[in-house]
Structure 1
């Protein structure tokens, strides 16, 4: 069991598909003090509220059979767009603030999506990724990931 060392001025991105928090370590490695630098929240209602069209139909030319076309999940589409926007915001923040160390905390699917959209310059600064959804946790709970030993880290 070990704890993650968070250098001073490091950036912690806590995100899911609808909310992103940029937290800076105003403390040191022993006593991190996470301060909210930026926060983004996306208004992403359920798919049933975003689209009301009936699913399309496909008519096969060789028979009289018809098949239903799967409907688009607008909620998932919007989450993907938000993750791309978060990656762009992270890139600008890293460049503007000269960030050298980044920790990403997000659910596994979001981390996977972020990996595919992060710029190489940002990816090189990532110290570690924590596969947890902590977007609705207070900052003192998030700080515990850097002060208390964790199994497997």
Structure 2
């Protein structure tokens, strides 16, 4: 996003990471955005990694070659599941509100996952702006300030 870019009026603004999401709509009538909360989502609590996977990583033997298999990152798996849930909510809300434009605000890895999930719901064509920032823990008025400065 370039300085001076505007959040389109009527656009759905999704501010998310792998554990929390805010789905907002820009209800402004002028140049200054007025974001109104439509939905607040939080992922289920995710236990510590040592409580989820107790076994050593697997091994692969191919002829004379031996290799360890990467350990499953359960927090990443749960985060991606949550992002899929967020995408389904965004799809439903965009249809209900008649919004044809989406603005995505998320840290880089969450943003990539969200774009993938929205492509699966055919909502990727609605994306008009992406912002690679972690703003999910800020109040809405602070999010507006950070997006417009």
User: Contact between 1:105 and 1:134, CA under 8 Å: does it hold in 2?
Assistant: yes
Give matches, 1:7-18, under 5 Å: 7-18=8-19
CA deviation map 1:27-53 (0-9, x unaligned): 23422111111010002233223x142
TM (normalized to structure 2)? Answer: 0.83
Counterpart of 1:151 in structure 2 is: none
- Could you say if the C-alpha distance between residues 2 and 93 of structure 1 is closer, same or farther in structure 2, counting changes exceeding 3 Å? same
Counterpart of 1:90 in structure 2 is: 90
- Could you say if the C-alpha distance between residues 124 and 45 of structure 1 is closer, same or farther in structure 2, counting changes exceeding 3 Å? same
Which ranges in structure 1 are unaligned for 5 or more consecutive residues?
149-153
Which ranges in structure 2 are unaligned for 5 or more consecutive residues?
none
- Could you say if the C-alpha distance between residues 67 and 41 of structure 1 is closer, same or farther in structure 2, counting changes exceeding 3 Å? same
User: Contact between 1:11 and 1:102, CA under 8 Å: does it hold in 2?
Assistant: yes
Give SS of 1:135's match: coil
Counterpart of 2:112 in structure 1 is: 112
Alignment pair present for 1:45 and 2:47: yes
Counterpart of 1:125 in structure 2 is: 126
Counterpart of 1:140 in structure 2 is: 141
User: Contact between 1:105 and 1:132, CA under 8 Å: does it hold in 2?
Assistant: yes
Q: CA deviation at 1:147?
A: 3.3
Distance in 2 of aligned mates of 1:69 and 1:123: 34
- Largest Rg, 1 or 2: 1
Count of residues in Structure 1 that have an aligned counterpart in Structure 2? 146
Distance in 1 of aligned mates of 2:142 and 2:73: 33
Counterpart of 1:33 in structure 2 is: 34
- Could you say if the C-alpha distance between residues 74 and 62 of structure 1 is closer, same or farther in structure 2, counting changes exceeding 3 Å? same
